[in-house]
Amino acid sequence: MKFRKGDTMTRKNVQTYSESWLYGSINGSVGTFPEDTTKPITKRELSRSGSFHDSRSRHSSGLSDGEPSTTTGKYSMLEFSMMYFRENLDRYSTKPNELGIHSNIRLIENLKLNGLKRRKSFGKAKDSEKLQRQESWSWKEQADMIKWTKTPIPASLLKLPTDQMNKIAVDCFYSIQKFMGDQPLHPSETDIDCAFKILKACHQCPELRDEIYCQLVRQTTNNKSPQSQSCLRGWRLFTLVACWFSPSDVLKPFLLNYLQQNASDPSRPYHSPAHNCLQMLRKTVKYGGRKNVPSVEEIAAITDGKLSKRQSVLISCGVPFILNISPSTVVQDVIDEICAKLGVVSQMEQEEYTVFAMIEADNEYARLKREEYVMDVVTEMRLQRKDCVLIFERTSWYFPLRLESATQEYIDMMFNQTVPDYIDGYLLTMDHKNKIPPKQLDDVITIAALLYRASGHDILPQTLREVDSYFPGSILSLSLLRHSQFLDGIQKKLNVLVNCNDFECKLEVMNMLKKWPLFGASFFNIQCLTEPKITGECLLAVNRAGIHFLHHKTHKVILSYPFTEIISSRKISADHKVTDEQYLDIKVGNNMVQKVIRVETNQGSDISHLIGQYIRAVNNNAQTFLVVTKCTCLYFYIFYLKTVYFYNVMLKTCKFYG
């Protein structure tokens, strides 16, 4: 442990490898020190001299105020360099897998013990002082291994498995210097080319990723470059690499600690870029890093310090929501931000929302995984020269609507996503005579009036043609009422809704539709092949109650299974290549009796994913209920014990006083 004259250290009762060396701490740093260079002091002397002197832990690495520190605390880069850098491994003939924090201290002790023995062997004090200066210089040399250098390195910092990798590592370090402006670029070379070269090396040789990170740490530590933008560009290149590649488990704690030290202190000159780099690296460690090759425009934006980009996400029927996304933004971040705007804070409820990528030219939808990077999707579509639109939807409706405290955005989204299915007639249920219940018919007229008012119309309609688009499907052609009766009913409803604004009208529509049995269902046109009860084409509805096979015209339920009886689902394709028929097998039943229902559909993936989404919601809700029930039972049990205890105490007291 390095210290200065006058520093006060606390000795700890830890056995060392030599009786002439002691173990102690100073300002949070621990280590060994020679006994003959210190003297014990009493508590009175300590209080007289004041608190501990500042040993200035930065002094050990020669850093000035505001410069990144790599030497203090646990998991410092200085410690990592002593354990894993090539120069130390070769010089002291150690193996990385044998080293740790205790072995690191042992290495320091051995070095100092050898130096102490050599000093004692010298007769002249002058020679002893010369040797001591040489030993202190060796420690400075150790710190210099993780500090900025203006010259290219002759070999890789870490020991790599092949000479070819060592050559690539040296070239990458030179590219880092050229990117930072510390070395001149070739006439036909740009800084973007240097960045691509580094990213390509990390992609093709995963063993080089730790090496590149160590090189970036070195060039951003104690940067003394005459180029004013050198360190800033180094941090931006650091951020670029952190977006794509994760360090090894060995380097990870040291690298995160280095970034945290620089990001947590606002007084450091590069606090902000270090914070950005730390955020990117944490995302990479969590989600695995970006997958696709970045575009030239994205690399140029990152190297210019532009880490955010405005991205439009459509929320049900074309309502845009503008987000600021970064290179490390994943789909889960998009869902979290939009749900926060909608007022959906429960993590389980957020699982019901999904982001899709729609290719406008082909009208194709692709469900995006929550761990996918948004910029990967956008970049891939741009490379394929396809216009891509992101769409945010609620795909499952297990949890009830929160209409009492709903925001404008929440109501608009639920309204815009529900009304199209209502207008298409999917939510209606009819009997075998194509008749609907009187209560539902009255709701249809009321909803038509509400939709008419919500569209901004203040004048009463004079003809049915003005409002026929607000009725579901072909209900007007079913001869349920005369057209004049429909028009008269709407006019009466509108007279009651004179003072209602569009928000109140939409809210009332949702309050009415949520009571319908098929509300919140997703509908799929299928053909069932194995059920005798179902012949020909039918409609499959999936909602919080389970899966329902409906008559394709009347929507009467033919067959239904709750999610507790659904065991699995599997998408399969036809065995022959003559047709492109696709099937979905749904296994239903219990532990005793099971069967497989096969349906023909080209939406098997969507159906299977939706069923799985509902089953997860059911299971998560059941687990939450079980935990709450256990806590409630425990509470009442404790209350019972306390009641019995106090009853016995009162009984004994009464007996004592007779």
Domains along the chain with CATH numbers: 10-144 (no CATH), 309-394 (3.10.20.90), 408-513 (1.20.80.10), 522-614 (2.30.29.30)
Report pLDDT for 1: 63
Report pLDDT for 63: 39
Task: Report the DSSP pairing between strands 537-543 and 546-551.
Answer: antiparallel
Q: Which residues make Cβ contacts (< 8 Å) with residue 416, sequence separation at least 6? A: 315, 316, 317, 319
Residue 573, beta-bridge partner list:
582
Report pLDDT for 116: 56
Q: Using CA atoms in the order 463, 464, 467, 468, what is the torsion angle rounded to 10 degrees?
A: -150
What secondary structure letter does DSSP report for 181?
T
| 130 phi, psi to nearest 5 deg | -65, -45
| Structure tokens that stand for 139 in this block | 């420690």
Question: Rounded to an integer, what distance in angstroms lies between the CA atom of residue 218 and that of residue 195?
Answer: 17
Q: Which of 397, 342, 396 is nearest to 514 (CA)?
A: 397
Question: Rounded to an integer, what distance in angstroms lies between the CA atom of residue 611 and that of residue 397?
Answer: 12
| Structure tokens that stand for 162 in this block | 């092949």
Beta strand segments in 326-373, E: 353-359, 364-367
pLDDT along the chain (658 residues), means of 10: 71 59 66 73 55 35 41 74 80 52 55 58 55 54 88 94 96 97 94 96 96 97 95 97 96 96 90 96 96 91 92 85 94 96 92 92 86 93 87 95 89 94 92 83 94 90 90 79 87 90 94 95 94 89 96 91 94 70 92 92 94 93 59 61 66 60
- Count CA atoms within 13 Å of residue 370 on its CB side: 10
Q: Which of 398, 340, 400, 419 is nearest to 610 (CA)?
A: 398
Long-range contacts, 456-462 (Cβ 8 Å, 24+): 456/502, 460/491, 460/494, 460/495, 461/487, 461/490, 461/491, 461/494
Report pLDDT for 83: 85
What secondary structure letter does DSSP report for 262?
H
Question: Rounded to an integer, what distance in angstroms lies between the CA atom of residue 454 and that of residue 459?
Answer: 12
Task: Report the DSSP pairing between strands 309-315 and 388-394.
Answer: parallel
The helix/strand count (H/E) of the chain reads as: 20, 15
